[in-house]
Chains A and B, each alone.
Chain A
Amino acid sequence: AQSVAQPEDQVNVAEGNPLTVKCTYSVSGNPYLFWYVQYPNRGLQFLLKYITGDNLVKGSYGFEAEFNKSQTSFHLKKPSALVSDSALYFCAVRDVYGDSNYQLIWGAGTKLIIKP
């Protein structure tokens, strides 16, 4: 079965420190990987995606993510956290040639708290 795991319900980071939000996936075929962020009482905002090419992808608000095929991971990173980064982060995957390739398979979400 296809699945996405975000092993941490919550991540706490001090402002200015680097942050990592973890994501691992299990799909039978080739994955396309996405990160979305949801600020309190807001909709989902697209951050970045991996389709092909360079394993390190850069996205909005200074975020980046590294695709690691051998570890089936796509961790979200930022070198220096801001208080305004506090939000709920979702990892999602699409199986390129799967029967349900219209479908995003979502992780459970990780709440990121940046403390001043």
Chain B
Amino acid sequence: DTEVTQTPKHLVMGMTNKKSLKCEQHMGHRAMYWYKQKAKKPPELMFVYSYEKLSINESVPSRFSPECPNSSLLNLHLHALQPEDSALYLCASSQDLGGGYSSGNTIYFGEGSWLTVV
């Protein structure tokens, strides 16, 4: 069973709404990730936090705004989304960011939040 917990499981929002996705892990991991996944496609990396600081932003539009309140929590704030943003949003975590042997650290995923933008 995954130890990365995501809420809500499903979210429907209008293009003018503001909503947030939440993620929590209690494995003591210091790297946390947001991925976007379209149906039957591999996940696409959006953001990476390392030790609560934003390390990687994969050129994600500003309508997606990540936040890491503490080492266990990761949020993704959503505003003025487009229908094409509808997807499964996956949170993940790993011991640390990687590099050298640490690149072997497993990235553990949550069950995801299904987002529909109408």
Contact = CB atoms under 8 A, between A and B. Distances in A.
Interface string B14-32: 0000000000000000010
Contact of A51 (B88, B97, B104): B104
B108 A106 contact: no
B106 A46 contact: yes
Interface residues of A, number: 28
A101 interface: yes
Nearest to B96: A102
Contact of B42 (A90, A94, A96, A102): A90
B85 to A, nearest CB: 19
Q: Specify the main secondary structure of chain B where it touches its partner.
A: mixed
B103 A106 contact: no
A102 B93 CA distance: 12
Contact of A43 (B42, B97, B110): B110
B109 A45 contact: yes
Nearest to B97: A102
Interface in A67-97: 88, 90, 92, 94-97
Contacts of A102: 31, 48, 55-56, 97-99
Interface in A36-66: 36, 41-46, 49, 51-52
Contacts of A92: 42
Interface of A: 32, 34, 36, 41-46, 49, 51-52, 88, 90, 92, 94-97, 101-104, 106-109, 111
Given A43-B88, A51-B104, A97-B99, 12 more contacts: A32-B103, A34-B106, A42-B112, A46-B107, A94-B104, A95-B103, A96-B100, A96-B103, A102-B55, A102-B98, A109-B42, A111-B40
